[in-house]
Amino acid sequence: MFKKIIKGIVGYLSKLTVEQEDVVGVDITPNCIRIAQLESNKKKWTLTKLGYKYIDGSSNFSIIESPELYVNKLTQLITASKIKTKSAAVSIPVSSAIIKVVPLPLMTDEELKVAVASDSLWENAVQLADNLDDYSIFWQVLKRDSAENIMHLLFVASKLDDIDNYLNIVKQAGLNPVVVDVRCFATRNALALRSDLTKSDAPVAIIEFGAFENYILILHQDSPFISDIYLSEKDRNTLMDQESSDEQIKGISNRFSMQVSQMISSYTAKYKTRPIETLLISSSMPNIERTIGNFNEALPKIKVEVFEPLLNSVVPENLKEKSEAELNSSIFSSALGLATRKLDVFGYYEYVTGTNNINLLPNRENVKTQEKMKFVSRWGVVAFAVLLIAFGIWNFLQSGKEVDRVDALMVEFNQLEPVRNEYQMTLAGLLAKKNSLEMTLEATNELTSNQGFMYSVLLGINSSIPSSYLKLTKIDYLGGNEIIINGMSANDSNILSFIENLSEVDVIEKASLATMSAEKVSNQSIKKFVVKVVLIEQETIDGRGSEDGA
């Protein structure tokens, strides 16, 4: 159970990393370099980058003899096509590869890995011309047959020197190779863009026809059959010559078709498959339209058509002219097939068997380790960000609870605030009265007389103050029936009103202004005054009180 969980997690991580890889396909042939980049969304492919550069005066040996020429062309192509990614999938010729489907006794994965690690498997099952250490080897189990106690293994190998010829060009141009594929399988991978061609259970056949490589690839249930097709040097030169006559091209096409027909017949007879209905032609020659009729005439039972890998893909307006500039629509098939490749970091293709994951990169395990570290570090940052967001959400929820508590308190506060304001207004009024009485009492600290009478006098003086703009600073009792009142006012009218009000008080005989002067206090004009007050006779008050029954 635990192993299943681990396998499921690894499978998910593998698929995730494969989907997120960004790779540019680089197809290097003797006479041209082509690059392509694709995006995939819900099984719909979109072309994002496309470019090519022809090499003048090239031959089959130009890549080995003049690598700097290809480095310069590829560098120009990367710049002109605005390629941002550094990861590249690179093709090598079929002529540089050994491709076999090897039947072996049935083994478990563990037993197979032990046999491969000991090198004994390849020494016994595959006869190589040179030392095993001189090759980069890729293998994968295609299928197991428990009833027959046999398994079929895909074996692909290429000499390290041959691979390095292409890797050095790509590296010197500033790219980082992550996949090395054989050109026939790169073209086969372009079938991912044409799912309509692989719906049938019949085998899929692709031929490469051109001046540099010629072969047939037949695929059935992802088990490959591949064979070279012979073309003489004279025929190759004729194909390269744009002035070759139609009769010459037809002769080459007929000889080529005869070999194709024989190979197809042998294949269907040996493997007991359904007849091959369609033959797809891929070619690096700029114009193969005039050969299609020749092939259809020579192979009447098979529909021969040019492989158009971009037929069902989305091509942006800025790339349409470039993608349609060549008369041969299959010319980009290998580059586009490489662009579908991804570096298999966690072994995703262990769960997706077939020919779409071949990688002959010599140091691929080191590259995988580096990419694993990048993936782990990148997703480590993502995991940290997720945890940070989760903490933020938790904190927000906790803050929400606190906000609810504060909101409840605010409701209570809003209900109590009017009551508080009412009490504050009452308190302010009482404090104002208290201050007024204190000032009056302070002004009469030295006043000594009949307590009841003088209390009446003070009440009368206090009630005579017309407004808060008039203040009393001192009240002097001179003895007898005279009082001197000192004060200040903001204006004359308040002083006059104060004197009039005093004259109406019962215990005051009369009030008159003694002196008045103006002063500046805090940049304001203040009137200081002295009022002389004559009181009525105290006996009169006493008598009046007696008459009233006091």
Residue owning tokens 């009551």: 419
Q: Are strands 278-282 and 303-306 parallel, antiparallel or unpaired?
A: parallel
Q: What is the pLDDT of residues 224-275, one digit of tens each?
A: 899 999 999 899 888 888 788 889 989 999 999 999 999 999 998 888 888 8
Torsion angle (degrees, nearest 10) of CA 143, 144, 148, 153: 60
Closest by CA to 298, choosing from 207, 217, 201, is: 207
Predicted confidence at residue 236, as pLDDT, reads 86
Distance CA 171, CA 164 (A): 10
Q: What angle do CA 365, 370, 375 make, to 5 degrees?
A: 120
Predicted confidence at residue 241, as pLDDT, reads 81
Residues of the chain with pLDDT under 50: 2, 11-20, 345-346, 351, 447, 449, 540-550
Provide the CB-side half-sphere exposure for 200 (13 A, CA): 12
Residues in the chain: 550
Distance CA 222, CA 527 (A): 114
Percent of residues in the chain assigned helix, strand, coil, to nearest 5: 50, 25, 25
Distance CA 63, CA 33 (A): 11
Secondary structure class of 477 (helix, strand, coil): strand
Predicted confidence at residue 344, as pLDDT, reads 60
| C-alpha pair distances (Å), 177 with each of 23, 36, 240 | 9, 14, 30
183 contacts 199 by C-beta, under 8 angstroms: no
| C-alpha pair distances (Å), 497 with each of 356, 450, 500, 514 | 111, 28, 5, 15
Predicted confidence at residue 313, as pLDDT, reads 93
Closest by CA to 256, choosing from 232, 282, 280, 289, is: 232
Q: What angle do CA 351, 11, 111 make, to 5 degrees?
A: 50
Distance CA 46, CA 312 (A): 9
Distance CA 126, CA 99 (A): 10
Closest by CA to 168, choosing from 67, 96, 89, 73, is: 67
- Across 296-330, b (16+ Cβ under 10 Å) vs e yields bebbeebebebbbbbeebebeeebeebbeeeebbb
Q: Is the pTM of this model over 0.85?
A: no
Which CATH number does 444-547 carry?
3.30.1360.100
Kindly tell me the burial class for residue 332, based on how many C-beta atoms sit within 10 Å of its own C-beta (0-12, 13-18, 19 or more).
buried
Predicted confidence at residue 332, as pLDDT, reads 94
Q: What angle do CA 263, 93, 322 make, to 5 degrees?
A: 105
